[in-house]
Amino acid sequence: MKLLIPFIFCAVSSICLGQKTNNLALDGKVIDHEAHAIVNASVELIDEDGKRIWAQKTDRDGSFKVYIDFEHKYELVFSNLGCQSKSLLINTFGVSCGGQEWGYEYGGFNVKLEQSKVPTQTIRVAEIYYDPNIQNFDFRLLQH
């Protein structure tokens, strides 16, 4: 019995250490010009090579949630039929190993899609990035 307790402790410790690190959980809503939810808007995560690696439709509240790996750059693209597409740049570089173990949540923001008869290229509106000065994620606006 005395040997069983250390064995269990070692087994549990190795399982915990072997688990994949957490990630950045982003959530928000896609809304129209009157702040109404846009149901079934497309939300896509694009990697640095331009490859779509994740996609989802917004729910009945216009909400979405995506989990993003650390040490990468992505573009999160929002689109809906008859609307101008917008995107957020996501930069998850620079998070400490300790921070990666716990993961981060960043969200509660709205992405407003406006109607457009002739949609142009996707407009990059903001960048979400890790700021070591505040030891958390922050954003900066790129365009309005």
* Domains in the chain with CATH codes: 22-141 (2.60.40.10)
Q: What is the pLDDT of residue 24?
A: 96
Using only C-alpha atoms, what is the Rg of the chain? 19
Nearest CA among 127, 120, 60 for reference residue 89: 127
**Angle, vertex CA 37, rays to CA 79 and CA 144, nearest 5:** 55
Do 80 and 100 form a contact (C-beta atoms < 8 A)?
no
Q: What is the pLDDT of residue 21?
A: 54
Question: Mapping DSSP to helix (H, G, I), strand (E, B) and coil, where does residue 71 land?
Answer: coil
Q: How far apart are CA 58 and CA 115, in angstroms?
A: 17
Q: What is the DSSP code string of 16-36?
A: HHHSPP--EEEEEEEE-TTS-
Q: How far apart are the first and last CA of the chain?
A: 66
Q: Where are the alpha helices (DSSP H) in the chain?
A: 4-18, 97-102
> Is pTM beyond 0.75 here?
yes
Q: What is the pLDDT of residue 131?
A: 96
Instruction: Please list the pLDDT of the chain residue by residue as tens digits (144 residues).
Output: 454 444 444 443 333 344 455 899 999 999 999 999 999 999 999 999 999 999 999 999 999 999 999 999 999 999 999 999 999 999 999 999 988 998 999 999 999 999 988 777 899 999 999 999 999 999 999 965
Q: How far apart are CA 69 and CA 20, in angstroms?
A: 10
Q: What is the pLDDT of residue 41?
A: 98
